[in-house]
Amino acid sequence: MPQAEPVAAVPTDAALIAAWQGGDEQAAAELVRRHARALARFLASAGAPEADLDDLVQETFIRAFRAVGRFRGQCRFRTWLLTIGGNVLKDAGRRAKRATVVPLGEDVRATDGDPHERAVAGEAEGRLLEGLRRLPRMQREVFLLRAQQGFEYEEIAAALGTSPGAARVHYHHAVKRLKEHLQ
């Protein structure tokens, strides 16, 4: 009877962070592989144009790796990373406003990419994006962290530096306004 191959232990985020702090570049690369898509989804939903998505993801990871010494494990690495992504997006929005070339958020849905895919994305998604764009930043981020990423209020509160009760209130306000917008 053939013996099952031993399953290699998957290093935790904490182990990868410690390895990166010790100078292991591949640990940083593994963290990018692990969280880049979730981050991209979060940023795209929060209003990042697809053309800028790659740059914003890179910038978020750079900031996170540089500031990782301040990450105390108060929440998951991914939650912390997404909140940094929110700051990066806000800064990019400010720069875009100053440049006044293409105002960020004019159309948060991708204007490039496969036209067929865009067509089938559906009106509801477009309306939700539009509704999200109109929300205050805190409500938008709490909603996305909860509804899209599936985090608990305690986790969200720890990442955003607020209380679980306040996070719950932000979420409910967001849901109420989004429902009104979708109807």
Q: How far is the CB of 4 from another protein (least distance, A)?
A: 29
Is residue 25 part of the contact set for another protein (CB under 8 A)? yes
- Nearer to another protein by C-beta: 74 or 106? 106
Minimum Å gap between C-beta 147 and another protein is 4
Closer of 6 and 60 to another protein (Cβ): 60
When asked if residue 45 is in the footprint of another protein (CB under 8 A), the reply is yes
| CB closer to another protein out of 44 and 160 | 44
Please identify, among the stretches 72-80, 120-128, 153-161, 162-170, the one whose residues bind another protein according to the rule CB under 8 A. Answer: 120-128
What is the distance of C-alpha 118 from the center of its chain?
Answer: 21
C-alpha span between 10 and 122 (Å, rounded): 38
Contact 105, 133 (CB under 8 A): yes
Q: Considering the rule CB under 8 A, would residue 99 count as an interface residue with another protein?
A: no
Residue 66 identity? R
**From 21, 37, 97, 99, residue interacting with another protein (rule: CB under 8 A):** 37
Residue 82: closest CA among 65, 104, 60 = 60
Q: Which of 148, 172, 142, 127 has its CA nearest to residue 39?
A: 148
Backbone angles phi and psi of 6, in degrees to 5: -65, 135
For the chain, the straight-line distance linking the first and the last C-alpha, in angstroms and rounded, comes to 61
Residue count of the chain: 183
Binding site for another protein (CB under 8 A): 25, 28-29, 32-33, 36-38, 40-45, 50, 53-54, 57-58, 61-62, 65-66, 110, 113, 117, 121, 124-125, 128-129, 132, 143-144, 147-148, 175, 178-179, 182
